[in-house]
Amino acid sequence: MEQPQPTPGSLSWRLSSHPITLLFFLAFRVSSLLVYLFGMIFIENLVMIFIVTILLLAADFYYLKNIAGRRLVGLRWWNEVDPTSGDSHWVFESSEPGTKTINPTDSRFFWLAIYTQPVLWVALAILALIRLKFIWLPLVAIALTLTVTNSLAFSRCDKFSQASNMAGSALYGGNLAGSIASNMASRLFTFGRS
């Protein structure tokens, strides 16, 4: 008797277009949480847990920002600083429409992991407060800073990508509504970058 195949977009890593990238992405996302949680509950060696967790968070931040985001959902972001004025602005990059097909399974795993991890870190901060382990809170603050930064950046990158795609399709449609939409989108994103 054949086992039913999972539907496209379901949370099965076997449906992924990039299973190795997806597995490393999920491993980095989960490992920092587990090391912190089990370290806080069982080991209580702050220095060792702090160092290992920070290294895992840094690896997760780098891998997500530079590899997983680009391969799984076609998005990438970075921050540039103008050397003359010192002003910084975020730069968002997405794959060209039609050049990359985003796998629904990869996309669901990606966005679920992006938004779940900060929530879990908040829960761990509450746990540290309840157990009166205030010394663990700086580590949680660092974790929240890194995970929320990636969450916000990829959310903005996705919105930028969707708006650019809509404006591009409207522009190439050759109608008045298309040119109005592209002008509004270009003003929005020019304003957002300054």
Q: Per-residue b/e over 96-116, b at no fewer than 16 CB within 10 Å?
A: eeeeeeebebbebbbbebbee
Q: At which residue do the structure tokens 């969450």 appear?
A: 151
pLDDT tens-place string over residues 13-29: 667 788 898 899 999 99
| pLDDT average, residue stretch 118-131 | 92
Distance CA 145, CA 101 (A): 31
Give Cα 119 to chain centroid, integer Å.
13
155 versus 92: the higher-pLDDT residue is 155
CA atoms within 13 A on the CB side of 170: 17
Q: Is the dihedral of CA 132, 133, 137, 143 positive or negative?
A: negative
Q: Is the dihedral of CA 51, 56, 57, 61 positive or negative?
A: positive
pLDDT tens-place string over residues 60-99: 999 999 999 888 888 888 888 888 888 888 888 887 766 7
Domains in the chain: boundaries: 13-158
Distance CA 123, CA 133 (A): 14
pLDDT value at position 177? 47
